[in-house]
Structures are given as C-alpha cells and as structure tokens.
Structure 1
Amino acid sequence: MLPVLADSVRLADDGVHILDRRVFPAERVWVRCRTVEDVARAVEDMVTQSSGPYFAVLWGMVLAAREAADLEPAAARAYLDRAAARLTATRRTNNHLRKAVRAVLSTVDDTGWRTGAELEAAALAGARAGDERYRTRSRLLGEFTAELLPDSGSVLTHCWADLYLVELVLALGRAGKRIGFVCTETRPYLQGARLTAATLVEMGVDTRVITDGMGAAVLAAGEVDALVTAGDRVTMDGHVVNKIGTLGLAVAAHAFEVPFLAMVQAPDRNAATAADVPIEHRSGDEWLTGGYPVFDITPPRFVTLVVTDRGPFDPRKLADYYREAP
C-alpha cells in the first residue's frame, strides 16, 4: 500500500479533489475544486505542496477542457492556453507545473480533435500519460539514490514530502537496506514534521524529527551518513533550488564532509543559471511580518551529486544528462 500523500490529488466527475496538506495528518480534509480557478487558488494557497501541484495542474487542465467543450475549436484551444497560463503562474519556482501543462497540451494538439467530447478525451489522455511518466521517473530516481546509500545508517532530510521520498523508501526496501531518517521540522508550514515524517512513519521507517536549528549539530556529530533532499529546480550550471533552509544544511554538510544528494528528475535546460529561476516570495502573514522567500539556492560547490532519473551527475557536468539516450 502506498502512503496517503502518494495519491493526494484525484480527478472526479464533480471536479478535482485535493487532500489539504495544511492540516494533514491531524485531519484528512479533501478540498473539492469545481473549476480551473478553484484549482489555481488551491495551489496558490498551498492546499497541496511538493509533487501535489504537478498533479493538480494535470487534472486542472482536464477541467479546462470540460469548461471549453461547448466553444468553437479555436476559442476552446485559446481557453486552454489561458488556463495553462493561470495554473503555471501559481507557483513560479518549480518548473514541474509547466511540464504538466505541456503533457496535456501536446496530446491535445496531436489528436486532431473536433468536438468538445474529443477535446476532453484528449486532455484526459495527456493528463494520464503525464501522471504515469512522473511516477515512472520518480521510481528510477528512487532506485539510483538508494544505490548511493549504505546498507544501514541514516539520512537527514529537509521538507520533501514527495513521490521521490516514497520511491526512495520503496527502493531501499527492495535492496534490503535499513536506513533511518532524520527530518527537520521545516518552517513555516512544518512540512517536514507533519508531511515527511508522517509519510515515513506510515511506511514503517525509523523516523526522528528535529528542529530546523539542529541540523548543523546533527551533521557535526556524525549522526547521519548523507543529506538527501529533493530539488524544486536544478539549473544547468548545478545550482539546487529547494525549500528555504536547504542552503544552510548543505553548507554544514560540506563543512563536516557529509555528502549532499539532491534528487530531481532532470535539470532544467531552460535555466542556465540561478538568475533564470524566479524565487517565490509569500506573504508575511504566514510567518510574522514582511514577505519571505520560500526557496533558497545552493551553489554547486556544496552539492555532492545531483541524482536524476538517468543516474547521478556531478553538479558541474549536468549537460551530460541531455547527452544520454532519451
């Protein structure tokens, strides 16, 4: 059985149902999004996080096709473009939202649809293909990362309640490796304490939660064998963009000679450097006062390996990823 967060966004006849990660695991509340705009607001308000927005956008584009079904073909296609722009603007730093939109639109444009029913069927086929592709690539990512970890020990994580985490744990189990996890609480939404740790416990993994301020001390004490996180985006020159706080842990890991493995399905070939990545800022109402950045950027000198669905790469040699066979 997969953990709850591995299937937390679902398409239904009455809309897209999204598990509210803001209150999980204390409560299991599903938010029903009847329209594309409802989906966009749910993503913006962080009802869903981590890999959740990718799936929300996939199924949100299916809602867009439903909403456009009665329009003339040219107007319907233009409606999908507007929906795509609205959805991808919700969380700008993670480029998976653009991939979700592209998965749907590429299928729509390849099918030669003529009626509203055909449009919806094409969008649904594209979304299902995008769903399966993400899950398949996550499984590969988990397997490659598991190979880099010892037969027993523990790793430090930050945020990261994602399918990457689920697939890593499953791969470790298949390999017979016994790895425990130390999870930072991850302010301000406590994703590490509430989401990552809850998922690990649900999967039967030895799990310990620490405060965000304890990370360097844990690394200094030699309590973990690696720092392992996901990456919301990795640039072609090896900068890892991830949840705010990753940079500090990476610097500490480097100082104490603990390897840092950053998991991402693929480096973003549209982001040559960190300057090409928009960093999302959120309202200070979620924290104290003033806006704050949600992500930080770790330079490649603090990253041991970027692990992708094609294996691990030196962060300074990520162009090699696109030289591999597709």
Structure 2
Amino acid sequence: MSLPVLADSVRLTADGVHILDRRKFPLEREWVRCGTAEDVAVAIEDMVTQSSGPYFAALGAMVLAAREASVLRPAEARAYLGRAADRLVSTRKTNNHLRKAVCFVLSSVDSAGSVSGTELVAAAESGARLGDERYRARSRALGTYTAELLPAEATVLTHCWADLYLVELVLAARRAGKEPAFVCTETRPYLQGTRLTAETLGEMDVATTVVTDGMGAATLASGEITALVTAADRVTMDGHVVNKIGTLGLAVAAHAFGVPFHAMVQAPDQAARTGSDVPLEYRDGEEVLSVLGHRVASERVRGRYPAFDVTPPRFVTTVVTDRGAFAPGRLGEYYAEGEPNQ
C-alpha cells in the first residue's frame, strides 16, 4: 500500500523546496515552490504546511540556506546558516520540531569542520537526510506503542491531526490485526480535521466520520468512543499537553465521561518543566472570521485566535512516546536511557 499524499508533502529539488499547499488540499493539489530559505519561512508562517510539514520544510530550507551561503567564507557561511535557523524556528514558536530540524543540519555542518562551497552543501544535505530518517523512524515507534493501547475494534476520536503519527498508528494497528475507526473533529478555522486528517484516513480505507468542533463532548458522552487520541505539539516534563486549540475541551470531556486520552509526542521537552514554559502562538483574529478564504462574519465583529491550548496532566491518561507509554507524572523516566538522537 502506498503512503497517503500528506506523508510526502515536502520535496527538496535542485530549484528549491516544493510544499503541497495544505490550505487548498484536498480540493486542489497545488505545490508551492520556495526558492530560498526565507520563502520557506514565509510559507510556514502562512500555513502552507502544518503538522510535521514544517519540520520537513525546515530541513529543506536549511539546505537552501547552505546553497545560498556556499559562496561565502566558512565563518561567514556558518553565521548565515545560524541566522536562517533562527528565522525558521521563529515561524511557529509553540512546536519545537523546527528547532530539532535545524539542529540536525547545523550539527552535520559543524561536524564537517570549517567548510564552504560544495562541501558545505553536502554537509547540510547529509544532516537533512538524517533528520528525515530519524523523524520517520521515531514516528513508526510512536505509532506502534499507541496501537498497543487500542483494542481490536476501537473507535478513536481525534482532533486536528494528520501526517506521520496518524499514518503510523493505522499501519501498526493493522499489523497487530486491529482495525480502528476514527471520528475527526472539523478543526476550525482551517478545517484541518476535515480536509487533512479525514482525507488521509480515507486514502488508507479507514472508516472515518467527521463531526463539528462543537459536537466533541456529546460524541464522548455517547459511549461510542474508545479513546481520545491526538498528537501533541509539545509535552512538558510534568505532563502538560500543548496542542491545537480545542484539545483541552475534548480532554476535559473525555475525563468526565471516562474515556482515556492518549497524547502522542516523540519525546517530552526537557526545556519545558511545566505549561507556562511553552510560548503559545496567537494568530491573526481575522482568520477566525473566514472559512477557506470566505468571510462568514460581518465587519462589525472581531476575531480572537489562540492557536494552541494547554491540557493539565490530570486530564491526560497516557503520554505515548517513541520509547513507550508513560503516565504524565512519570515522564522523567523517558530520559533514563539518556538523550534520544534528536
């Protein structure tokens, strides 16, 4: 079975980084070409890509930055890459995947020593390949551990989530002889749940139902949901789950109706002890007043758009990582084996 489209939605070529425009998918399949690292940064800010897409886009952007810097002397080239990395990390401050992506490339360049020209580009490309491979491998492990938590015929409620965590969970469940069904929230204002998550599941022939965001609590109260499972943009060391706005409400409702909430993240963030240590992105409130480019509110009203919320650990059943499942209060055990390879 071939992977869904969104599992390979960023491509590095000789003329730039090509990104599948998730603002238009699946109604249109348009690729946006970014010729410079700055073009990629703007594309990430403008939501051309989301979920794991910015991670892979940042890997490609750092290679573009190396191409741009290849004519400079080694010290100047390294400084140029550092500025490009800072710019990319700043585009979406809540999710720390971008920081990990640029670190792969910078580490590879630094390991190569004082290089420029084609050697600089080769080192950047090597780091980008390693970052790609590691992310996919860790996502496979994450999917396997999450599938173990589900019974054979689970019905999973999820929120604003597509991409590799989702794909690997389904593949792992099937390897174990399980066939989960999914209920997806629509996830306003960009409708990622409807357009991205549900479409990805549909491509994989998974039984999929879409509900509006306001139907989440009632759906959990109905008794039909086996588990609430979402990705997490970041999980703090004390078990706070930072994810797309709306996750908190679903987690509270799941707790009220006895439905377990499993949050998927590759690793808890040692730089974030608790929820207040994670900067939350606020997007332009105008985005709330439109759907797919069509304004649905009058000019008399204003919008407010906190893009993420923070779910306290008391509403989280399990944090699933690439090293297994942990209770939110025991995430320090993740690092008993030492640091992961990013």
| TM-score for the superposition, normalised by structure 1 | 0.99
Q: Secondary structure at the match of 2:180?
A: strand
Q: Distance in 2 between matches of 1:87 and 1:311?
A: 30
Does the CA contact (< 8 Å) of 1:279 and 1:293 recur in 2? Answer: yes
Deviations 1:107-144 (A, max 9, x none): 11011252310000000000000000000000000000
Q: Secondary structure at the match of 2:154?
A: strand
1:154 aligns with 2:155: yes
Structure 1 counterpart of 2:67? 66
Q: Distance in 2 between matches of 1:146 and 1:324?
A: 23
Structure 1 counterpart of 2:292? none
Does the CA contact (< 8 Å) of 2:154 and 2:227 recur in 1? Answer: no
Q: Distance in 1 between matches of 2:216 and 2:150?
A: 19
| Residue correspondence of structure 1 range 23-62 to structure 2 within 5 A | 23-62=24-63
Structure 1 counterpart of 2:298? none
Q: Which moved more, 1:24-33 or 1:212-221?
A: 212-221
Q: Distance in 1 between matches of 2:303 and 2:197?
A: 27
Structure 2 counterpart of 1:138? 139
Structure 1 counterpart of 2:235? 234
Deviations 1:78-113 (A, max 9, x none): 000000010000000000000001011011101125
Structure 1 counterpart of 2:280? 279
1:304 aligns with 2:339: no
| Letter in structure 2 aligned against 1:285 | E
Does the CA contact (< 8 Å) of 1:113 and 1:122 recur in 2? Answer: no
Structure 1 counterpart of 2:105? 104
Once superposed, what is the RMSD of the aligned Cα atoms? 0.8
Does the CA contact (< 8 Å) of 1:304 and 1:315 recur in 2? Answer: yes
In the comparison of the two structures, how many residue pairs are matched? 326
Q: Which moved more, 1:289-298 or 1:268-277?
A: 289-298
Does the CA contact (< 8 Å) of 2:287 and 2:303 recur in 1? Answer: no
| Letter in structure 1 aligned against 2:206 | V
Structure 2 counterpart of 1:187? 188
Structure 2 counterpart of 1:207? 208
| Letter in structure 2 aligned against 1:256 | F
| Letter in structure 1 aligned against 2:54 | P
Does the CA contact (< 8 Å) of 1:146 and 1:171 recur in 2? Answer: yes
Q: Distance in 2 between matches of 1:161 and 1:113?
A: 40
Structure 2 counterpart of 1:265? 266
Q: Secondary structure at the match of 1:152?
A: coil
User: Structure 1 vs Structure 2: percent identity of aligned residues?
Assistant: 74
| Letter in structure 1 aligned against 2:74 | P
Structure 1 counterpart of 2:295? none
Q: Distance in 2 between matches of 1:121 and 1:258?
A: 49
Q: Distance in 2 between matches of 1:120 and 1:113?
A: 12
| Letter in structure 2 aligned against 1:92 | K
| Residue correspondence of structure 1 range 154-173 to structure 2 within 5 A | 154-173=155-174
Q: Distance in 2 between matches of 1:214 and 1:58?
A: 37
Does the CA contact (< 8 Å) of 2:72 and 2:116 recur in 1? Answer: no
Q: Secondary structure at the match of 1:93?
A: coil
Deviations 1:234-265 (A, max 9, x none): 00010000000000000000000000000000
5+ long unaligned stretches in structure 1: none
Q: Distance in 2 between matches of 1:130 and 1:291?
A: 35
Deviations 1:128-182 (A, max 9, x none): 0000000000000000000000011210000111210010011011111011000
Deviations 1:8-37 (A, max 9, x none): 000000000000000000000000000011
Structure 2 counterpart of 1:245? 246
Q: Distance in 2 between matches of 1:218 and 1:54?
A: 32
Q: Secondary structure at the match of 2:124?
A: helix
Does the CA contact (< 8 Å) of 1:58 and 1:100 recur in 2? Answer: yes
Structure 1 counterpart of 2:332? 319
Structure 1 residue 290: deviation in Å? 3.9
Q: Which moved more, 1:52-61 or 1:280-289?
A: 280-289
Q: Distance in 1 between matches of 2:274 and 2:222?
A: 34
Q: Distance in 1 between matches of 2:215 and 2:173?
A: 26
Deviations 1:275-314 (A, max 9, x none): 1100000001211324411000000000000000000001
Structure 2 counterpart of 1:75? 76
